Every structure is written in C-alpha cells, then in structure tokens.
Structure 1
C-alpha cells in the first residue's frame, strides 16, 4: 500500500476495501464491473497533476473518467489509477464571444440551461447526463451536427495535465499538434482539466417527435429513408424504435408501450419544417409534439435514460438500411437510426483528427440485460443486427464503441501515424489509457 506517500490533494485516494469504494468505481453500464488499482477524485488541476505524478511513481497507468459512460472500452484496469474528474465543475459562459469554458467534470445539463438564457445552443448529444469533455474528445454528434459538424471541432482550447505532471494549455497557436490529436483522439494524451468551445445563436427552432405504433415501423423507416437525400443540412432527424419500460422516468403516455418515433430539429421556419416532414405526417402519427421551441428542449428530446442500467450495445455507420432484416430484431429494447451527412461529411482546414464521419446513417441497437439468460438473448439479437448491417458498413463512431478495440481502425493511415508520433512526444511510456488506445510510435 502506497498511502504513506500520497501527495497533498484536496480530495484523496480510495483503495479496494475502503468505505465508498463500490460507489467510486460504479459505472453507467451496470453490466461492467470496474476494478482499478485505486481511484482519486481531484477537485483542482493541481490535484490532477499531483495524482499523475503519484501514479507514475507507483508504476500505474492513468485512466481519466467523469460520468463513466462508454467506459467498457477501457478494458482491464487492474494496474490503472482511475482519475475521476467529476469534481472539476467550473462553468463560464461568454455570450458576446460565443464561447463557453467548462471544467472537465461538467455534464451538459449544467450548460444547456445557461446557454438557453442567452439564446445560444451548443453541439451536445442526446443526453444531458453525458460529460462535456469525454463527448467532445471522441467527436460528439447531436441535433445540430448536420448544420455545424461535430462538437470536437467546436472546441477552441484545451487545458490538460501531461505525463510529466505539467499543466498545458493548447489551441491552434500553442501545442497545435497536441490540440489536433485531442479533438478526436480521446484521453490518450493527458488528463483534460478544462476545455473551451464555440456555441451558436439559436433563439428557437422547430423540434419535436412524431409517435407511431410500433407496428408501423416498416412504413416509417421506408418513408424516412426515401426522404433523406432531399433533406437540408438544417434538419437533423432520427428514427427510434423503442419499447418503454413501465417506470416513472418514462413519460406517462409511453410507459409500458412501444413506438416507432421520428425525432427532429430544424434550424428554420415552422412552415418549412412542417413541409419537410409532410411524407411522415401523411402516415398518420398518433402523437405530434413538433413546435417552435427554445434550444433547451433538445437536451431531453431523445428521452434517454438518466439512471445507470445494465445493457449491451452495438452500432455501425452505414450507407443504407436493410429494413426488413432489422425489424426481425424487434426483441431489442431500442434500435435508433440517425441521419448523418451534411457538415459531418465536410472537413474544415482547422479541424482535429476527427474531422468527419462516414456513412449516411448511424445505426445503433441496445438491449437491457436483467439476468444471464436475457444477456445471452440480447447478444444473439445484437449479433444478428450486426450481420444484417455488415454489407452496408461505412465505418464506426468511436464514442459508441463499448469494448477495447484497435484504434487504427478509426483513422486514416496517415492520421494514425501522426497520432502515434504525437503520443510518443507527449506520453512516450504510455501512461494514459483512453477509450481508443493509441500506442506511442517506436
């Protein structure tokens, strides 16, 4: 035990067997059981630096974490210090500059309301419970992505602790190579303590959902996929096929029921949005919530669960959907299809390594696991989902990868070599464990 050599921290270390150990190592996906060597919960950037130096002296790796979403990709943590940054909670909005600065532990729920008060919107994803930093470092796709691209490329500066315990700020003019790598390369290069990002003026937008009986899923998906080539970048739509549990977190009208839902957000006039969705409305939705709304409504539009739950998940970026084959998987808790394209296909000169994402649709499926038998059944259904989509695959979205994988599969060869060279320059002994492993160049 190394507790006698602990650095001076505002918040200390937790070891296996200590009070609070199980709570500290808990994760959003309850099927995963994290067993790190130790956990620390710093509350300042200096705490982070001290913890990194301590871990190196102990011969441990360091895995940054906040909300413990997407944590399955970290794999074995037995020789790793889990450095949970949830105590770094600063939030500052500069409405004049259209900029936000947040500590690394901040979740989107603490940002969207403040932005809404100024008539601003960020490029957050489907859940307000997700951490801003991890989401941003892995890419970040949400309701405004077809118009403005990924959140990773809205980031304007990053503050982090490097492997030698130094506090570094990087942007386009300072440590520009590191700044490029972090925007899409994840937590491989250091422990981020804060980041700044651009936001957009949005007083209101046309957004909501069309609910159809689950039995109309084929009609909905066929109509939706026919529409996609003709939709403007200002409109993002998703189709969600879901079975809602009878629990209080679910809106009363949906509890215990199943739906095919078309959700969308349109940066334009209500009349134009209504016309764009006409082919779907002609199918006769049983509930229509579309209206002109403030951007804060987007935080809960997807109706994602906020509490941890046990699940298995898979996803693919694809160019087409084999609709009938996918609908044979109606036993899955959720299947979701997000329209991609638009700005997600266009690289800008100042983008990070995650400049674009391939594919016309992001297809994701999830099954809730209640016991061993249901776990095996979910795995079989997800395998069948994967097999049906395999001929149409265009790539992966790393923020949805839930198990350890070879990082080279997510990047172009030249970008992969550059990432490994930057890893060698800033973390030559591979101290930091990210959700997508990038080994230092030899």
Structure 2
C-alpha cells in the first residue's frame, strides 16, 4: 500500500512506465557491474530530465525512502543500489555536447560517450580505463586514468556542475560546492550535468607488460626510479595481478603526444608485451 502511494506520487511528473517496482524488470534494472552485489531496491526510477530527478528526490524524502543514484553502475560495492530504497537511474541522460575545449556532460553519460564526442573534435578527455564507467561518477570519486600525468585526475577537469540538492533545489555549484564535488563523491546532491575540460591530443602510445613474480622487486624499483624523473607525458599503472601460475606484475604505460626519440628505460624481462 505504501509503495503504491509512492509510485502514484512519482507518476504525477514521471511516466509510470519508467518507474520499475517489481519482477524481472526490477532485477534487470538493479543489476550492476559487480555481479556479487545482490541487494535489491524497492524501486528504480528512470529519469530523463533534471526536473524528474528533482521530483524523485522530493518523493523519496517525503516517503522516508533511502535514496541512491545510478549512472554507470561500476562502484565495486554496488552503492548505486540502495537495499529497500529508491534508485534514481540516470542512464537515459547520456547527451554530450562540445563547445571549444569544454564538454557539457549529462549525468548518465559514460566515459566512452564523452571520449567519442571529444575525439570527433580532435580532443581528449581525462577518463578512466573502462568506457562503460559513468563519466560524472568517475569524476566525483577522483578519476584515475591513462592521462593523469598530463591532464590530472578526472576531478581536476570538472569545471562546473548542475546539482539537485537533498531539499529538491537545483543549483549551479558555487566555488565551495565545486571544490567538494571534485573527489568528494555523490554526497552533496545529484549531479545532472557538468562541464568537463577537453585537451588537444594528436598521438597516444599505450601498452601492457606482464612480468613474472620473481622479477617483482627489480621491476618495481626500476619503474619507481623511472617515474621519478619521467615527463608528464608518461602515465603508468602498476598492479600485482593473480594468475593461474601465481602472482604477476602488470605495467600499463601510456605516452601522450609524439613518442620519445630515445628509450626512457629498460627493466626486467616481460613474459609478454603489447603496444
């Protein structure tokens, strides 16, 4: 009975067909990247405009329902889905427009959406490494990726934001709120649109090198020394990864711009190398 009244309240300003409250459709709407996440919301609201996000927040607040926001759904703990709560699903808000060196990004746009729009203008954006990750969720959480050396974190490139606050007000983030949004996560409101900096970038060289565990100390020391004096054009991710034959060290470098004329360094003997 209570949930029926919530759905009726949502349907005053949102098409009832986009309010998902039961059955296989709810299971599908609540599925996220981490398949181990099994908690289930009470309902999912597929918003298409800022006004609809505002209405959904007000209904959740008036009904006393826990609230969460889903964009790309890649948070490892599944925090886009609140157990027994109302989920604002932004995945239908994916439009991206480019003007000069700035992209205006809707709340549900993925990293790939933004990268493709930027690339059509000969530009690049500081994203992560997986195209299906939500661009704004990534930016609000910090945003590590292959261009960190030359462009900074995704959060560093967040220029402006339209935010729906917990009381339903829609605001353009002032200096203080924008500072908090850059890495503070989705704790301050729902970001329905944001401006993101784009950068000229004509050439990129990327690769992956896998080293046996026996070379871990040599490789980690060598790359540590290399990165201390490396130019900003080089960003390198280093990880210890479990494999069928035991742990390995995986180095994934990205060089942004014209390739160096001389090798920067050589360390270890990789089991496999891809450029």
Same fold? TM cut 0.5: yes
Among 25, 30, 40, the alignment partner of 2:30 is 25
Please give the secondary structure, in 1, of the residue aligned with 2:47.
coil
What corresponds to 2:201 in structure 1?
202
Among 105, 108, 111, the alignment partner of 2:108 is 105
Please give the per-residue CA displacement for 1:111-155, whole angstroms capped at 9, x wherever unaligned. Answer: 222322332111101211211011011111211212222211211
Distance 1:66 1:46 in 2: 17
Question: How many Å apart are 1:222 and its aligned residue?
Answer: 3.1
Question: How many Å apart are 1:90 and its aligned residue?
Answer: 0.7
What corresponds to 2:181 in structure 1?
182
Please give the per-residue CA displacement for 1:31-65, whole angstroms capped at 9, x wherever unaligned. Answer: 22222232211112121111111111211232111
Distance 1:263 1:76 in 2: 31
TM (norm. structure 1) is: 0.55
What corresponds to 1:148 in structure 2?
151
What corresponds to 1:285 in structure 2?
270
In structure 2, the CA distance between the partners of 1:103 and 1:257, relative to structure 1 (3 Å rule), is farther
What corresponds to 1:83 in structure 2?
88
What corresponds to 1:343 in structure 2?
none
Q: Give the conservation status (yes or no) of the 8 Å contact 1:119–1:204.
A: no
Question: How many Å apart are 1:161 and its aligned residue?
Answer: 1.6
Distance 1:284 1:159 in 2: 49
Q: Give the conservation status (yes or no) of the 8 Å contact 1:210–1:287.
A: yes
Among 50, 59, 63, the alignment partner of 1:58 is 63
What corresponds to 2:19 in structure 1?
13
Distance 2:81 2:258 in 1: 50
Please give the secondary structure, in 2, of the residue aligned with 1:227.
helix
Please list, as runs of the form range in 1=range in 2, the aligned pairs for 1:28-427 lying within 5 A after superposition: 28-70=33-75, 72=77, 74=79, 77-78=82-83, 80-94=85-99, 97-170=100-173, 175-213=174-212, 215-243=214-242, 260-272=249-261, 274-276=262-264, 278-280=265-267, 283-290=268-275
Distance 1:75 1:201 in 2: 33
Structure number with higher strand proportion: 2
Distance 1:226 1:71 in 2: 32
Please give the per-residue CA displacement for 1:215-273, whole angstroms capped at 9, x wherever unaligned. Answer: 5444322322232322222211122343568xxxxxxxxxx99853321112344234x
- Flag the structure with more relative contact order, 1 or 2, with Cα contacts below 8 A and sequence separation at least 6: 1
Distance 1:288 1:221 in 2: 17
Distance 1:203 1:99 in 2: 17
Q: Which runs of 5+ in 1 are unaligned?
A: 246-255, 291-442
In structure 2, the CA distance between the partners of 1:186 and 1:271, relative to structure 1 (3 Å rule), is closer
Please give the per-residue CA displacement for 1:358-398, whole angstroms capped at 9, x wherever unaligned. Answer: xxxxxxxxxxxxxxxxxxxxxxxxxxxxxxxxxxxxxxxxx
Q: Give the conservation status (yes or no) of the 8 Å contact 2:238–2:251.
A: yes
In structure 2, the CA distance between the partners of 1:192 and 1:78, relative to structure 1 (3 Å rule), is same
In structure 2, the CA distance between the partners of 1:287 and 1:19, relative to structure 1 (3 Å rule), is closer
In structure 2, the CA distance between the partners of 1:4 and 1:125, relative to structure 1 (3 Å rule), is closer
In structure 2, the CA distance between the partners of 1:34 and 1:235, relative to structure 1 (3 Å rule), is same
In structure 2, the CA distance between the partners of 1:232 and 1:271, relative to structure 1 (3 Å rule), is closer
Aligned Cα root-mean-square deviation (Å) = 2.6
Distance 2:63 2:168 in 1: 14
Distance 1:192 1:132 in 2: 11
Distance 2:181 2:260 in 1: 41
